[in-house]
Amino acid sequence: MLPELFDLSGRHVCVLGGGGYLASAACRLLAECGAHVIVADLSMAAAEAVVSQIQDNGLLADAVPIDVADESVIAALFDRIAADFGSLDAVVNSTFQYQNVPFEQMSLDQWRDGMRINLDAAFLISREAGRVMKPVERGSIVHFSSMYGLVAPIPSLYKGMDVNPVHYGVAKAGVRQLVKYQAALMGRFGLRVNAIVPGPFPASRVCESDPTFVTRLAERTMLGRIACAEEIAGAVVYLVADASSFVTGTELVVDGGWTQW
Ligand SMILES: NC(=O)c1ccc[n+]([C@@H]2O[C@H](COP(=O)([O-])OP(=O)(O)OC[C@H]3O[C@@H](n4cnc5c(N)ncnc54)[C@H](O)[C@@H]3O)[C@@H](O)[C@H]2O)c1
């Protein structure tokens, strides 16, 4: 029973932002569980690097260039996966992009720009994945929120630097509501929609460039450390696989306890 709960053989999983730090770990784990992983990213070089690692291990993956700000491109990608491979079984959205601007200086255009990838694209991805999955009555959609979608950034952690921008947390709070809304609509059609709420897992370039900031982040968690990407990626596999077949409309908090005190 246990291996079957996590067996993704024959499933086609599209990971948007799949070339990123967290998503590349998730793509590797999904492929290890048997999935064919479609790694879609703005950076084709990043997507191809992940695909090479997966294929070098004899597993299944393809790289696709995509800009998730482009509505028609998202729709076309999901249609193509369903047509070419026979099904779109899961979509994982790990894209993220922002420009940091202090709250009091942020223009309306900069605010809107922050929403474009972090919330508008999440909506488009959810809507289009749902459109393709609903007729076949099966599928899992996974988005990423953030601890900053649950609680405010603590200004004192950001000594000498700009605090995490307001549009980021607002967009990530919106993602939490997006999954509840869509899960309520789509549950009767066999679709599950969930969010993962990670705590801090800065990539190695951040850890190297500002170790004292990373220490302050680590001390804020109950576990006293930051996460590595693989520790969040396991939650992706769980929400894609049948192990979570009765889990929908929820948020899985994987934050080392950041939001619990
Ligand atoms: N890193 C953290 O500490 C942290 C904490 C909480 C939540 N998160 C969330 O986790 C997720 C993954 O974070 P990460 O640190 O691995 O990010 P990352 O920057 O390493 O990866 C994001 C990926 O999205 C791609 N991307 C950006 N804009 C795109 C677009 N328009 N179209 C297609 N692809 C695009 C990038 O090329 C990149 O590969 C994000 O949603 C982030 O908000 C991260």
Q: Which residues are catalytic?
A: 168
Question: Does the pLDDT of residue 140 top 90, yes or no?
Answer: yes
CB 202 within 8 A of CB 217: yes
Query: Full-prediction pTM beyond 0.95?
Result: yes
**How far is 239 from 26, CA to CA, in rounded Å?**
11
CB 27 within 8 A of CB 94: no
Q: Do β-strands 12-16 and 36-41 pair in parallel, antiparallel, or remain unpaired?
A: parallel
Question: Tens of pLDDT along 21-72?
Answer: 999 999 999 999 999 999 999 999 999 999 999 999 999 999 999 999 999 9
Ligand 1 pocket member 250 (CB < 6 A): no
CB 195 within 8 A of CB 160: no
CATH topology of domain 2-260: Rossmann fold (3.40.50)
**How far is 242 from 194, CA to CA, in rounded Å?**
14
CB 234 within 8 A of CB 198: no
Residue nearest to atom 17 of ligand 1 (CA): 20
**How far is 196 from 182, CA to CA, in rounded Å?**
15
pLDDT band at 1 (very low <50, low <70, confident <90, very high): confident
With the most atoms of ligand 1 within 8 angstroms of its CB, the residue from 94, 151, 253 to mutate is 94
Domain ranges of the chain: 2-260
Question: Does the pLDDT of residue 206 top 90, yes or no?
Answer: no
Q: Which atom of ligand 1 is nearest to the CA of 68?
A: 32
Ligand 1 pocket member 139 (CB < 6 A): no
